[in-house]
Chain A
Amino acid sequence: DQQVKQNSPSLSVQEGRISILNCDYTNSMFDYFLWYKKYPAEGPTFLISISSIKDKNEDGRFTVFLNKSAKHLSLHIVPSQPGDSAVYFCAAISTGANSKLTFGKGITLSVRP
């Protein structure tokens, strides 16, 4: 039972354009969401996060949007660069007792020069 779903396994965009990576969740107890980026043969690295009390968080080229009513979040990368090519994982957590990170399956982003 996937509580965090990344339904598109891959995305290809042209350099300079916007990349939009989507994530859906089913557990309404989740109150904090994170995006991780992973290069081959490396561990995931934290990219950006958002609390459920916000609907947007921006950090440079990266913006995460949260729509709680739809249980949906998205990561926007503008402008996309070839170095952004990686696997992106959406993760969620309920920040209470016995909480743990739940990850989606990941999306492979390819940015074409």
Chain B
Amino acid sequence: GAGVSQSPRYKVAKRGQDVALRCDPISGHVSLFWYQQALGQGPEFLTYFQNEAQLDKSGLPSDRFFAERPEGSVSTLKIQRTQQEDSAVYLCASSLVVGGWVEQYFGPGTRLTVT
């Protein structure tokens, strides 16, 4: 069956540009998570959705980061006025259950490079 997909897989942005990263979770999965993985580091939590509700955005590093999941399915992570420190792999994960922290399925990630 189809897993979590993310697009684009690679994105190069000039500093100051806005970017939008898309996540298609597994169909029917209630929970959706975004993570940021810097080079040589483990994934770090950004935000969590339960259906369309953003229940936790405590990991978003600044107000330039914004995430939405308007219909409880596809999610978009938007970064405004990108900075070099935003360069990272952005991972999306989904889970069938509410919370679902221990039953997450990860997508392949979007590698963002800010030049």
Contact = CB atoms under 8 A, between A and B. Distances in A.
A in complex with B: yes
Interface of A: 4, 32, 34, 36, 41-46, 49, 89, 91, 93, 95, 98-106
A32 B103 CA distance: 12
Contacts, number: 54
B56 to A, nearest CB: 7
Chain B interface SS verdict (over half): loop
How many B residues touch the partner, as a band?
20 to 34
Nearest to A9: B40
A98 B56 contact: yes
Contacts of A98: 56, 58
A92 to B, nearest CB: 11
A2 to B, nearest CB: 9
B37 to A, nearest CB: 8
B87 to A, nearest CB: 17
Nearest to A87: B42
Given A98-B56, A103-B43, A105-B42, A46 B108 contact: no
